[in-house]
Amino acid sequence: MNTPNSDQIRRAPKVLLHDHLDGGLRPGTVVDLARETGYAALPETDPGRLGAWFRAAADSGSLERYLETFSHTVGVMQTRDALVRVAAECAEDLAADGVVYAEVRYAPEQHLEGGLSLEEVVEAVNEGFREGERRAREDGRRIRVGALLTAMRHAARALEIAELANRYRDLGVVGFDIAGAEAGHPPTRHLDAFEFLKRENNHFTIHAGEAFGLPSIWQALQWCGADRLGHGVRIVDDIQVGADGSVKLGRLASYVRDKRIPLELCPSSNLQTGAADSYAGHPIGLLRRLHFRATVNTDNRLMSGTSMSREFEHLVGAFGYTLDDMQWFSVNAMKSAFIPFDERLAMINDVIKPGYAELKSEWLFRQTASTSRSAVSDG
């Protein structure tokens, strides 16, 4: 009865925990910035064709090949102005899509080629997010964006980036992450960074259980102490579903569910990197049914040609999700955010729940309107 249409999905208040700044540029902005900064390696210079190129190139079935496409976005994000613009447009685009709270991540160490310092990178991105929030407000939309600082798992700067995240805590940065090719780069190589953050009572998430399975999830949780799992989708490898529908959770899957570890699931991205083969077959269906702390995310809007609304449209199509399901995912995400508890609670009670209540009550008023129309035409 309350299956949402596209317009309702877009207007519904959504919460996004896993979105890469360098994976979400507008294609036209990539073209503009390449021209302005003298970046000559773009495979296409027409925005439409460039957007299609990113989607196709990222659609290889391999995480390593998917990640190669980032050389072009990172390539044009090497100046202060470019970072401010990309961050402002990110916040604006998310707000236009109905996102009310987002944590957007990027790796400061990848933006130093033009001579910026790590601090200048963080300050430029923060400035952009504040500008985007302001523009959204002028358009009558409300969004709050926090930054997550990512360290690249194949590099050796994790402790330095963790210290940077800690220094900019309460100044626009809400946590830390590690990303990059998973196989061959275990998170335990960066234990010093995680231990530092734990001593500082700071928060972090780790990309795990995407291209590599249970050992990666286990390490991220039990060795590194991650607060959330970036993807974590392969936790289904520890869940057995019998022919009669009975379900048996292994020890790790039980731990993840019992401890309410948030899973930052990214359906479209998983289809492109081969972690899932269809929306209907995506583990999110099972994980939602089993009441894991599942959340819906975009990962890389440019590479997947997606948005939060599109991710939900796919899920509504595949699983028949209703506005109640959308609210469940959004509340789950908000509970799992890295901002203080009282702010999360206020977002849930004062923004998310009223937003869904408004949408869920629309049918009442639509029915009155159509009754009066038919009365007029009957007369």
Catalytic residues: 210
Residue 124's SS3 state is helix
Task: Answer yes or no: is 22 a known binding residue.
Answer: yes
Rule CB under 5 A: is residue 177 a binding residue for Zn ion?
no
CB-nearer residue toward ligand 2ND: 56 or 345 = 56
Provide the 10 A C-beta neighbour count for residue 46.
Answer: 12
Q: Which residue is nearest to Zn ion (CB)?
A: 299
Residue 159 interacts, among ligand 2ND, Zn ion, none and using kind-specific CB cut-offs from 5 to 8 Å, with none
Nearest one of 154, 132, 151, 156 to 142, comparing CA atoms? 132
Residue 105 interacts, among ligand 2ND, Zn ion, none and using kind-specific CB cut-offs from 5 to 8 Å, with ligand 2ND
Residues in contact with 191: Cβ distance below 8 Å, sequence separation at least 6, in sequence order: 223, 224
Nearest one of 35, 135, 65, 62 to 94, comparing CA atoms? 135
H/E stretch holding 134: helix 118-138
Rule CB under 6 A: is residue 109 a binding residue for ligand 2ND?
no
- Whether 267 and 281 have beta carbons less than 8 Å apart is answered as no
CB-nearer residue toward ligand 2ND: 20 or 314 = 20
User: Based on the number of CB atoms within 10 Å of its own CB, is 376 exposed (0-12), middle (13-18) or buried (19 or more)?
Assistant: exposed
- Whether 304 and 298 have beta carbons less than 8 Å apart is answered as yes
Residue with tokens 């979400």: 24
Residue with tokens 């990666």: 216
Rule CB under 5 A: is residue 182 a binding residue for Zn ion?
no
H/E stretch holding 267: helix 267-273
Q: How far is the CB of 44 from ligand 2ND (least distance, A)?
A: 20
Rule CB under 6 A: is residue 179 a binding residue for ligand 2ND?
yes
| Chain residues 42-101 in contact with ligand 2ND, contact rule CB under 6 A | 63, 67, 70, 74
Residue 23 interacts, among ligand 2ND, Zn ion, none and using kind-specific CB cut-offs from 5 to 8 Å, with ligand 2ND
Q: What are the two backbone dihedrals, phi and then psi, of residue 59, each rounded to the nearest 5 degrees? A: -95, 40
Rule CB under 6 A: is residue 105 a binding residue for ligand 2ND?
yes
CB-nearer residue toward Zn ion: 9 or 265 = 265
Binding-residue pattern over the window 286 to 315 for Zn ion, x denoting contact by CB under 5 A = -------------x----------------
- 54, 62, 71 from 68: Cα distances, Å: 10, 10, 6
- Whether 149 and 177 have beta carbons less than 8 Å apart is answered as yes
Q: How far is the CB of 207 from ligand 2ND (least distance, A)?
A: 5
Rounded CA separation 321/291 (Å): 14
Binding-residue pattern over the window 191 to 210 for ligand 2ND, x denoting contact by CB under 6 A = ----------------x--x
Binding-residue pattern over the window 292 to 331 for ligand 2ND, x denoting contact by CB under 6 A = -------xx-------------------------------
CB-nearer residue toward ligand 2ND: 179 or 352 = 179
Q: How far is the CB of 179 from ligand 2ND (least distance, A)?
A: 3
Nearest one of 353, 243, 333, 242 to 292, comparing CA atoms? 333
Structure tokens at 254: 């039980």
What pairs with residue 369 in β-bridges?
none
Q: How far is the CB of 67 from ligand 2ND (least distance, A)?
A: 5
Structure tokens at 354: 């009223």
- Whether 302 and 290 have beta carbons less than 8 Å apart is answered as no
Binding-residue pattern over the window 92 to 121 for Zn ion, x denoting contact by CB under 5 A = ------------------------------
Binding residues, by number, are 18, 20, 22, 180, 207, 299
Binding residues for substrate, by number, are 20, 22, 180
Which residues here bind ligand 2ND, judged by CB under 6 A? 20, 22-23, 63, 67, 70, 74, 105-107, 110, 150, 179-180, 207, 210, 269, 299-300
Which residues here bind Zn ion, judged by CB under 5 A? 299
